[in-house]
Amino acid sequence: MQTGEPQAQAGALAAPAEWVLPKRPGVAANVWKFIRRKPLGAFGLLLVILMVSMTVGPPKAVFGVPELPDSPLGFELGKPFMARFDAKDVFREGERGVSVGSIDRFLEPSTKHWFGTDRGGHDTYSVMVYAARRSLFIGLWALFFATIVGCAIGVVSAYFRGWSDTLVQRFMDSIQAFPPLILLILIISVFEPNLTIMAIALGFVGVTSVQRIVRGVVMSTREEPYVEAARVLGATDLRTMVFHIMPNIMAPVIVVFTIGLGSVILAEAALAFIVPESVPSDPSWGIMLHFTQQHLPPFPPFLPFTLLEGDPEGYHTLAAGGAIVLSVLGFNLAGDALRDVLDPRLRVG
């Protein structure tokens, strides 16, 4: 550097053009590079963006406290922009489909009802969009909970090692020894069903795997020279953990967060599918699937490709099942790509 500076000055005076840095690639170029290098990841990201845009709506009451117990984000959003109708709208015109009383059950798809109507006369497409909001909110909250608690436990456990680490790890092992789905069903059936409890329960189950990964990373990070330097300089344990270790383990944490979202969405759907009476009753993909299955007399045709035979229930399954598959696929693919970009060490296959 000592010799470089005068040279640079001289160069700048003589021929400024030589010293112009190469143009940094713009955002578009970066995006294009990502799409070319990781086509699957880009596809996953597209699915994630689609799912997120499904949940967006005008704010109803910002941080409205009265809604707190039931809406995991603490505020209510109005009808999603992508939904065509409110999820509670019941249709009664009665042209095709089975009309019970005056309610149009199981209408076939039309320009008005893209996926037809369900057993209660609701617009299936709109219900699906509402359900996306629930899935995403529960997923996000569960993962926030799991990540924060998991990071705290993982970092502290790995940082101090010794008997406290052993004790904490054995305790985590025992939580992991629970069959997860059974533990979830238990937790939500002990408490009143509401979205916040569900999010916390799902997060609680996730804590063990998050903390295990974080612990593994911290085990190697704590031996890094900069951590030692911080300690030599007299940083307290807390300071070392928060300012020196935490920022350096963010990459794996972000990856775990993304991949975890997919599995939490899957778990939430499975839960709603198995015990729909114990989960909150607002639109959910799992509940949609449950009633499709429940409604059916033994095994009638209701698959997508038999729809031509005129069975509108198929669209219901298609909407809910397709939504689950695509969103989980989206988060998995995006997470895989993100891992390759951010932290190749975590690569599994």
Partner 1 sequence: MQQYILRRSILNLLAIFFVVTLIFLLLRIDTDHVVTLRAAQTQTSTPEAQAAARQQIREDLGLAGSIPEQYKTYLWNLVQGDLGESFQAKEKVTNEIKDRIGPSLELGLLQITVAMLVAIPIGVISAIRQDSMVDYILRFFAIALLGIPVFVLAIFVLTSSSIYLGYVPPLTEYRDLFPFPPFSTGRGVDVSTNLQIMFMPAIVGGLGEGAIIMRFLRSQMLEVMRQDYVRTAWAKGLKERVVILRHALKNALIPVLTVVGLLLGIVLSGNVVLETIFVIPGVGLWIVNAIGESDYPIIQGVVLVVAGALVFINLLVDIIYAWLDPRIRYG
Contact between 49 and partner 1 per CB under 8 A: no
Question: Residue type at 127?
Answer: V
Choice from 246, 329, 341, 346 touching partner 1 (CB under 8 A): 329
Stretch of 59-67, 79-87, 116-124, 331-339 contacting partner 1, by CB under 8 A: 331-339
Toward partner 1, which CB reaches closer, 236 or 293?
293
Give CA–CA dist 348/326, Å, rounded: 22
Count of residues of this chain found to bind partner 1 when the rule CB under 8 A is applied: 48
Minimum CB separation from partner 1 for residue 251, in Å? Answer: 19
Toward partner 1, which CB reaches closer, 173 or 228?
173
Toward partner 1, which CB reaches closer, 230 or 333?
333
Minimum CB separation from partner 1 for residue 67, in Å? Answer: 25
Instruction: Give the Cα-Cα-Cα angle 280, 92, 324 (nearest 5 degrees).
Output: 40
| Contacts of partner 1 in 241-270 (CB under 8 A) | 262, 266, 269-270
Of 122, 129, 130, 86, give the one whose Cα is nearest residue 105. 122
Contacts of 117-122 with C-beta under 8 Å, sequence gap 24+, read 117/91, 117/312, 118/288, 118/291, 118/316, 119/291, 119/295, 120/90, 121/90, 121/91, 121/92, 122/85, 122/87, 122/88, 122/89, 122/90, 122/91
Toward partner 1, which CB reaches closer, 104 or 336?
336
Toward partner 1, which CB reaches closer, 114 or 191?
191
Contact between 274 and partner 1 per CB under 8 A: yes
Give CA–CA dist 22/168, Å, rounded: 51
Minimum CB separation from partner 1 for residue 15, in Å? Answer: 45
Contact between 152 and partner 1 per CB under 8 A: no
Question: HSE on the CB side for 241, CA within 13 Å?
Answer: 16
**Helix, coil or strand: residue 82:** coil
| Contacts of partner 1 in 157-196 (CB under 8 A) | 170-171, 173-175, 177-179, 181-182, 185-187, 189-191
Sketch the per residue contact string, 285 through 324, with partner 1: x for CB under 8 A, - otherwise: ----x--xx----xxxxxx--x----------x---x--x
Residues found near partner 1 in the complex (CB under 8 A):
40, 170-171, 173-175, 177-179, 181-182, 185-187, 189-191, 262, 266, 269-270, 273-275, 278, 289, 292-293, 298-303, 306, 317, 321, 324-326, 328-329, 332-333, 336, 347-349
